[in-house]
Amino acid sequence: MAERKKESAKSLGNGRNTVRGAPAGSDEPKRPFLPPRPISLRTLGDYLDLSPATISLVLNNAPGVRSIPQETRDRVIAAAKKFEYRPSFFARSLRRRQSFSVGVLVPELSDGYSVLVMNGIEEVLIEEGYFYLTASHRRKADLIEEYPGLLMDRSVEGFIAIDTALQHSLPLPVVAVAGHNPLPGVTRIVLDHRRAAELTLRHLYQLGHRQIAFMRGQTFSSDSGDRWKSLMTVARELGLEVRPELVVQLEQNLSSPELGYPVPPQLLAQKRPFTALVSYNDIAAIGAIRAFRDHGLRVPEDVSVVGFDDIQGAAYHTPSLTTIRQPLNSMGNTAARILLERIRGKKDFPDEVPIVPELIIRESTMPPNADRMKRK
């Protein structure tokens, strides 16, 4: 029996003979060797007459793989494909003490802002061989508190928090996109809101607008406070009066145009003339434009509208939306690269990475025409 096993291993090990031999003098036909399922690294090594270490180097594309002849590498890959062998993720994780995964905290997966940031994150993680687990917390404080622990239970190596108001540090590296709350161990990717406010208001001012209405962002949004302070600072510098009755505070937790739809009727009810509206974001701007139309007003002939973010639909809306572009894909790229550098042991990392905005002028703004402004 032992000799038969030895003979079988010999037949398997030469890497060329894949047929199990029949006993001498037997008329039994030869039959193909069927390896055990699931096939192990050692079995694959016997089949190829190579060491498991060599096969592991090839299949994991490890740094030392270049020392292995290309012909051998091709044989390993072909055999792995033939027998449907995949390296053990858990074994590799234990060996390197890595899970090759990160956690991403996001308010809502369908939000245009978050989608573009995550596209950028995904590009880098795929390139670097990392997987990500996403937790959508809907801005609920208990979920923001609970989800990091649940993701750590799944062995993530770090976090990217998108527009998420973290209240305390975490025991792993963290990069926050639109994170305005300074915390130890957290690198913040933050737009220059002062520059964004200058671009917005100077554009309207140069067109001739002096009576401007504003949407103020929800208190739970990470950018809301800084964006509003910046707008008010620049308004004072330009000598623009910001009338309280022309400021609408957004409250709803929505990621659809419905967010901005109630704003125009609230403003029109004040009976105060205005020729432009600064929206908190593009989604709300699109809803506001529809509401103006439903109240008999045209954009931009009667009211100019400026958005914020430059989401994918902004250029294709009618009218196309003048907006402040955040390079959201690039912000996601930057966040992922910084996180992986920190995971790999880089000690010198910035507390804050500033991002420069850009004004994109499209069809939703023009010089005011007060005589044609209709109020209801």
Both 109 and 68 in one domain: the answer is: no
- On whether residue 258 sits in a domain, the answer given is yes
Q: How confident is the model at residue 224 (pLDDT cuts 50, 70, 90)?
A: very high
Both 50 and 124 in one domain: the answer is: no
**Which residue range is the domain that position 144 belongs to?**
99-191+329-354
Model confidence at 218: pLDDT above 80: yes
- On whether residue 141 sits in a domain, the answer given is yes
- On whether residue 94 sits in a domain, the answer given is no
Sorted by sequence, the CB contacts under 8 Å of residue 142 that are 6+ apart come out as none
Average pLDDT over residues 283-300: 97
Q: Above pLDDT 70, what percent of the chain? A: 84
Model confidence at 310: pLDDT above 80: yes
Q: What was the pLDDT predicted at 109?
A: 86
Q: How confident is the model at residue 57 (pLDDT cuts 50, 70, 90)?
A: confident
pLDDT tens digits, 133-191:
999 999 999 999 999 999 998 889 999 999 998 999 999 999 999 987 889 999 999 99
* CB distance 41 to 76 below 8 Å: no
Residue keyed to tokens 């190829």: 48
Average pLDDT over residues 332-354: 91
* CB distance 258 to 286 below 8 Å: no
Q: How confident is the model at residue 62 (pLDDT cuts 50, 70, 90)?
A: low
- On whether residue 117 sits in a domain, the answer given is yes
Both 320 and 225 in one domain: the answer is: yes
Q: What was the pLDDT predicted at 81?
A: 85
Instruction: Report the CATH number that the domain containing residue 179 is assigned in CATH.
Output: 3.40.50.2300
Q: What was the pLDDT predicted at 11?
A: 37
Distance from chain centroid for Cα 375: 42
> 159, exposed or middle or buried, with CB in 10 Å at 0-12, 13-18, 19+?
buried
Both 58 and 127 in one domain: the answer is: no
Give the C-alpha distances (Å, rounded to integers) separating 288 from 256, 279, 305.
Answer: 11, 8, 8
- On whether residue 92 sits in a domain, the answer given is no
234 or 100: whose pLDDT is higher? 234
Both 287 and 365 in one domain: the answer is: yes
Both 275 and 345 in one domain: the answer is: no
Cα atoms in the Cβ-side hemisphere of radius 13 Å centred on 313: 15
Both 260 and 368 in one domain: the answer is: yes
Both 35 and 20 in one domain: the answer is: yes
Average pLDDT over residues 49-66: 77
Q: What is the pTM of this model?
A: 0.72
Both 204 and 271 in one domain: the answer is: yes
Q: How confident is the model at residue 225 (pLDDT cuts 50, 70, 90)?
A: very high
Domains: count for the chain: 3
Distance from chain centroid for Cα 187: 15
Q: What was the pLDDT predicted at 268?
A: 97
- On whether residue 364 sits in a domain, the answer given is yes
DSSP string covering 109-159, please? TT-HHHHHHHHHHHHHHHHTT-EEEEEE-TT-HHHHHHHHHHHHHTT---E
* CB distance 47 to 13 below 8 Å: yes
Both 249 and 333 in one domain: the answer is: no
Sorted by sequence, the CB contacts under 8 Å of residue 144 that are 6+ apart come out as 105, 137, 164, 165, 166, 167
Both 225 and 368 in one domain: the answer is: yes
> Which regions of the chain does DSSP assign to beta strands (E)?
19-20, 31-32, 101-106, 131-136, 159-162, 174-177, 186-191, 212-216, 247-249, 276-278, 304-309, 322-325, 352-355, 358-360
Both 178 and 114 in one domain: the answer is: yes
Model confidence at 103: pLDDT above 50: yes
- On whether residue 226 sits in a domain, the answer given is yes
Q: What was the pLDDT predicted at 247?
A: 98
- On whether residue 93 sits in a domain, the answer given is no
| Torsion of Cα atoms, 140 then 142 then 143 then 147, to 10° | 150
* CB distance 111 to 255 below 8 Å: yes
Run of H or E including 202: helix 193-207
* CB distance 310 to 360 below 8 Å: yes
Average pLDDT of every residue of the chain: 86
Q: Which of 87, 110, 127 is the last residue of a domain?
A: 87
Q: How confident is the model at residue 96 (pLDDT cuts 50, 70, 90)?
A: low
- 52 vs 35: CA distance, rounded Å: 16
Residue 177: strand pairing partners:
162, 189
